[in-house]
Amino acid sequence: MRSMSPRTLASLADRGPYPLRRETGQKRLHELHVAGELSGLPGEGSPLPPDPDDDAGDTWAARHVMRTAGASPPWADLRREIAEERARLVTRLRAHHAWLAGRDARLRRLPGERILGEREATRAVDERVRGELEGAIGELKALVARHNLMVVPALQLPQPSLERLQELARS
């Protein structure tokens, strides 16, 4: 094996991860420029902008495909799903609070003999809706737990609760 001088080794180290491809591309661009095929193009004579993936090495292709395909990591899709589900639950809570307020207003105008029966019906509906909401919150908690297993602690989401969602619904 032939030994290389320190100057040759230093020049090879300065070329970056893909020296042959880069040199071939530079040569071809120079040939096209000399032949006049690149004349009149915008930016003629100025250097190319820096490549954001210049130092990416083997991961360049993966990053490029992800960026151009609009792909996102699984935790980002899960985070979007969590936000949508949380918004649905808050909307459901707001509607239920509005229904309860309307129901209370109607109960005040009812004759005395009907109030107890109507109040019991209202309480039964309220308990049923709260049970449905607790079930949906349990599913949301499972999504949040799965999300939190995928991300670093700084990106973790707090576990949802009926009380927190009610605060959001009232705001």
DSSP classification of residue 17: S
DSSP classification of residue 26: H
Most confident of the following: 18-22, 47-51, 140-144: 140-144
How many other CB atoms are there within 10 angstroms of residue 78's CB atom?
18
- As a whole-number percent, the residues of the chain with pLDDT over 70 amount to 83
Give this prediction's pTM. 0.57
**Average pLDDT score over the chain:** 83
Instruction: Please give the biggest Cα pair distance in the chain.
Output: 107
Task: Indicate the pLDDT class of residue 57, thresholds 50, 70 and 90.
Answer: low
How many other CB atoms are there within 10 angstroms of residue 140's CB atom?
21
pLDDT in tens, 62-95: 777 777 787 788 888 999 999 999 999 999 999 9
Q: CB neighbours of 51 closer than 8 A, spacing ≥ 6? A: none
Range 100-119 average pLDDT: 85
Residue 7's pLDDT is: 60
Between helix 112-150 and helix 162-170 the angle, nearest 10°, is 110
Contact status, residue 147 vs residue 78, Cβ threshold 8 Å? yes
Contact status, residue 123 vs residue 143, Cβ threshold 8 Å? no
Contact status, residue 147 vs residue 82, Cβ threshold 8 Å? yes
3-state DSSP call for residue 54? coil
Q: Residue 117: name the closest of 127, 107, 109 by CA.
A: 107
| Runs of H (alpha helix) within 15-111 | 19-34, 60-69, 74-109
Amino acid identity at 141: K
Task: Indicate the pLDDT class of residue 137, thresholds 50, 70 and 90.
Answer: very high
pLDDT in tens, 28-46: 888 887 888 878 878 777 8
Domain boundaries, the chain: 74-170
